[in-house]
């Protein structure tokens, strides 16, 4: 009788312990896009030097979200009209802060720019940006998760 009671108590505890210790599936990150794919969906492509980076942080549910605006001094426009000598480009990252395992989702942009870096930036203005439709407010959103292309120094 004691064996049955002990098994009835210990078996569920063991199952929960194993479930918590078992490796969790990796987050469903946004697939990286090829330059050709980014060029196709972008409304604008510029080459420029990052002059400043501005950030804000906020909490959205269990996510800690950082939104960025990089000030880019444009050296060359490869696609699109209506750009300026200086543009602000938007991108974001987020971290899971919940007590439960992170759900399948993306953590935002990768390969974030650094100050004084010269990059090719794939952008969407009021159109699909690789994550969704965007804000439709005239701003320039960086395409997909990898819309920054580092250029080799000459």
More confident residue, 8 or 48: 48
pLDDT in tens, 58-83: 999 999 999 999 999 999 999 999 88
Please give the radius of gyration of the chain, using alpha carbons only, rounded to the nearest integer. Answer: 22
Q: How far apart are CA 154 and CA 5, in angstroms?
A: 74
Kindly state the percentage of the chain with pLDDT values over 90. 67
Q: Indicate the pTM of the whole model.
A: 0.78
**What's the topology of domain 25-150?**
OB fold (Dihydrolipoamide Acetyltransferase, E2P) (2.40.50)
Q: What is the mean pLDDT of residues 120-144?
A: 90
Residue 100 in this model has a pLDDT that exceeds 90: yes
Structural domain spans, the chain: 25-150
């Amino acid at each position: 009788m004691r064996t049955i009671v002990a098994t009835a108590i210990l078996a569920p505890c063991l199952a929960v312990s194993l479930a918590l210790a078992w490796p969790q599936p990796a987050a469903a990150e946004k697939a990286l896009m090829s330059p050709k794919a980014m060029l196709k969906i972008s409304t604008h492509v510029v080459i420029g030097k990052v002059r400043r980076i501005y950030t804000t942080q906020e909490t959205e549910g269990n996510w800690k979200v950082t939104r960025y605006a990089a000030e880019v001094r444009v050296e060359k426009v490869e696609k699109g009209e209506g750009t300026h000598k200086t543009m602000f480009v938007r991108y974001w990252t987020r971290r899971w802060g919940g007590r439960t395992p992170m759900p399948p989702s993306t953590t935002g942009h990768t390969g974030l720019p650094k100050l004084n870096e010269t990059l090719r930036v794939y952008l969407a203005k009021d159109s699909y940006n690789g994550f969704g439709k965007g804000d439709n407010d005239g701003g320039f959103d960086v395409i997909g998760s990898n819309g920054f292309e580092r250029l080799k120094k000459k």
